[in-house]
Amino acid sequence: MNSISRIRNNFFFLSAADFTAKSFGFLLYIVLARYLGPEQFGIYSLGVSFWLIYGLLANLGFDPVIIRDVSRDPSKSESYFSQVVFYKLITGTLAYLGLLGTCYLMDYAIEVRHTILIFGCLLFINPLNNSQQSIFKAHQTMSYVALMEASRAIIKLAVIPLIIAVGLGVQAVAGSHLLIALILFVIFYHFILKKNFCRFSFKDVKFYNPLLKSALPFGFLGLTYIVNRKLDILIISKMIGVESVGWYNAANELVAVLGMLPTTLSTVLFPSFSASYGRSELKQLTNTANFVIKLINVIGIPSGVGIFLLAPEIINLIYGPNYSQSAIVLKILSPVVCFLFARSVLSWLLTAVDQINILMKIVITTLVINISIDIWLIPHYGYAAAAFGVVVSTFFAYISVCWNLRRRLDGLILFKSSIKPILACLPMIAVLFICDDFHLFIKIGIAILVYVAAAFLFSVFDKNEIEVIKKIVVPGQR
């Protein structure tokens, strides 16, 4: 199978799964937000944030190392998997102790504390699920990753509304996450054995392994990234209250759903980027990166513009009038969509060319900027200030990653590829103002048609790029 066919197949497997997972997950968030109300939804969001932050301590960066090294040498599968499972059982325990201590130091109410501690139990199971996925990704068998993500989303959407319907509350919802993760671990370990990729073996386990040193930069990078995304929720919960967490996270999760495409592309391309760099195929790496950057800008820029103009209507349609306060957050976060789409792919590209330490410095600086803005402005301007901090820090990260990539990859086109998509947005903006009284769905449909027409008029893609798109989209093309 050639590289284009492999990327196409992997992309569509993961896209289908990610679309299912994100769509079903977002539907679940809508159900939870509407049924629980801002305060209880805020408690749920806070529990998820604690789990995600401490989950990075439990994962400790092992999974990207598995993908990078096993994609280059598949014979390392068993030794890496066994060693990582051993380490994650230790780091999961340490992470849970850290979560427990932080939870009590924050002096939350009993209901909030118990919900956080139940979510914390996922620190023992979910990191192992992640390592299973990394083995499948390293072998570029994305269909199993897709199956795991889709199964998780479908089961949650089937089970959690039933829990809510019988009145069991937010703690039972947290417990269902734990049970589903355990079931998936057992099922997909069976698939790993069936594919004969690897199995857990004590003979491959050492208390200290060079793998640990390789994983630490990835772990630190991942920790700072997720803290950058979720720490504002913890700060809002203490400075303002859990109801404000509900309003803020409603908009924040909507932006996260829109990150489905760059996240999927990054997952598919990282093994390919790493392998190309390992074989010193820098021209192929640069050409692929340029095409992907342009594709991401073509989608991300109009998405951000449309969200800014339609934020109040989007929030009212999805969450209802109880979340009208979320509209200002979504408006402020809309530029993040433009930067986030490109930054996600570019960050993984920087990692693939062995510049993890540079990326780590960028993310640390980004975290400091975000936290500083939160502490300074949230007491005066509330949760809207947290959204502003995300925009400023994301823009800084985007510019920094671009600057460092330009120094290491000759021929990389970054900012120029955004000019034509920006120009194509101008008639779209005009149409949205003209159609202001139309229904939201009609406005979105008209805006998409006008933008696509303008993109063709400005020749956003050249003939060669159109041929590449055909090869990716049409299975018969080579």
Predicted confidence at residue 476, as pLDDT, reads 47
Whats the size of the chain, residue-wise? Answer: 478
Q: What is the mean pLDDT of residues 433-448?
A: 93
- Is it the case that residue 466 has pLDDT exceeding 80? no
- Is it the case that residue 204 has pLDDT exceeding 70? no
Predicted confidence at residue 15, as pLDDT, reads 63
User: Please, which residues have CB within 8 angstroms of residue 158's CB and are 6 or more apart in sequence?
Assistant: none
Q: What is the mean pLDDT of residues 185-213?
A: 76
Predicted confidence at residue 268, as pLDDT, reads 61
Predicted confidence at residue 373, as pLDDT, reads 92
- Is it the case that residue 264 has pLDDT exceeding 80? no
Give the pLDDT band of residue 475 (cuts 50, 70, 90). very low
- 402: tokens are 């671009």
For residue 205, CA distances in Å to 13, 66, 82, 83, 84 come to 33, 15, 6, 5, 9
Give tens-digit pLDDT for 301-317.
999 999 999 999 999 99
User: Please, which residues have CB within 8 angstroms of residue 98's CB and are 6 or more apart in sequence?
Assistant: 54, 57
Predicted confidence at residue 423, as pLDDT, reads 93
Give the pLDDT band of residue 143 (cuts 50, 70, 90). confident
Predicted confidence at residue 300, as pLDDT, reads 87
Q: Identify whether the C-beta of residue 260 lies closer than 8 Å to the C-beta of residue 76.
A: no
Nearest to 332 by CA among 363, 375, 373: 373
User: According to DSSP H, which parts of 279-355 are helical?
Assistant: 282-319, 326-352
Number of Cα atoms under 13 Å in the Cβ half of residue 99: 31
Q: Max Cα separation, the chain?
A: 69
Give tens-digit pLDDT for 45-95.
899 889 888 888 888 888 888 887 887 788 888 888 888 888 888 989 999
- Of 139-148, 248-257, 292-301, 327-336, the least confident: 139-148
Domain ranges of the chain: 3-414
DSSP per position, 79-109: HHHHHHHHHHHHHHHHHHHHHHHHHHHTT--
Predicted confidence at residue 206, as pLDDT, reads 72
Predicted confidence at residue 20, as pLDDT, reads 72
Higher pLDDT, 241 or 430: 430
- Is it the case that residue 350 has pLDDT exceeding 50? yes
- Is it the case that residue 7 has pLDDT exceeding 90? no
Give the pLDDT band of residue 12 (cuts 50, 70, 90). low
Distance CA 422, CA 388 (A): 22
Give tens-digit pLDDT for 146-165.
777 778 888 888 888 888 88
Distance CA 101, CA 23 (A): 34
Q: Residues 447-455: contacts with CB within 8 Å, 24+ apart?
A: 447/302, 447/306, 451/302, 451/424, 451/425, 451/427, 453/427, 454/423, 454/424, 454/425, 454/426, 454/427, 454/428, 455/298, 455/420, 455/421, 455/424
